[in-house]
Amino acid sequence: MRQSMSSVTVRRVYDVTDAQLEELASLFILNMNDDLAAISICGGDRSLMGTMARAMIRAATLDGEIYTAAEQSDRILGYAVWMPPGQDLLSTPEQRKLGWDDFFEHVSQRGKDWFTKTYATEVSAFMAGIFGPTGKVDSWYLNIIMVHPDYHRRGIATKLVDVVRSKAAANGDTMALSTSSTRNVPIYKALHFDLVGEKMIPSPWGDWPLYVFIQKIAGTE
């Protein structure tokens, strides 16, 4: 039976329970297990995918905003991790201590070298060229958005974006995101984001594309 989107509720989660964290991490793995960007950040070790997801989600509980889309049974169908203007995911020692440091400790030396020397350099320079020195931090940045594959194309991603779009509109803020999935490009365009840059990122596990999107809300200059 097709799920009615009227029965799907988006809520902000302030304190992520262990059970919720596992649900969110499982959705991340389900969607990202074959994603070359995620595989590369894990140093080629897919078994670290869940550890990486948990670390990012936990980090967002400090300075970010986490929203879930759930049906009446409270089963989570999708979620989004946003960082509001002035904040950046994994940018502080406090955020990284919530799991990222431990995750990175388990990444292979080859993976560590790629992340610190290639990824950090290539992505940082590319982002700075698009946003300027502070533009990314000045925006509502969508770091993670996941929807269960069985519920794709049913408006869940729209709901998870709209909840923050209304906040951005109140202050004339910009919204932004990036993706390494070509199939996501038309989805974000349909959500009214503009593709403002794309670049191939070299990786020992396979080069992958980085697409950057911006949505300027009415009222911004």
For the record, the structure tokens of 193 come out as 């984001």
- Residue 43 and residue 108 in contact, taking contact as beta carbons nearer than 8 Å: yes
Residues 183-208 as b or e (16 or more Cβ within 10 Å = b): ebbebbeebebeeeeebebebebeeb
Q: How confident is the model at residue 3 (pLDDT cuts 50, 70, 90)?
A: very low
For the chain, give the percent of residues with pLDDT over 90. 85
67-79 tens-digit pLDDT: 999 987 788 999 9
Distances from the Cα of 219 to the Cαs of 2, 123, 149, 193, in angstroms?
A: 38, 29, 35, 16
DSSP 209: E
What distance in Å separates the CA atoms of residue 70 and residue 73, rounded to the nearest whole number?
8
- Residue 79 and residue 27 in contact, taking contact as beta carbons nearer than 8 Å: yes
pLDDT at residue 133, rounded to an integer: 79
- Domain ranges for the chain, please list them: 5-216
pLDDT at residue 220, rounded to an integer: 41
85-136 tens-digit pLDDT: 999 999 999 999 999 999 999 999 999 999 999 999 999 999 999 998 777 8
Pairing of strands 194-201, 140-147: unpaired
CATH classification number, 5-216, choose in 3.40.630.30, 3.90.550.10, 3.40.50.300, 3.40.50.140? 3.40.630.30
- Residue 88 and residue 127 in contact, taking contact as beta carbons nearer than 8 Å: no
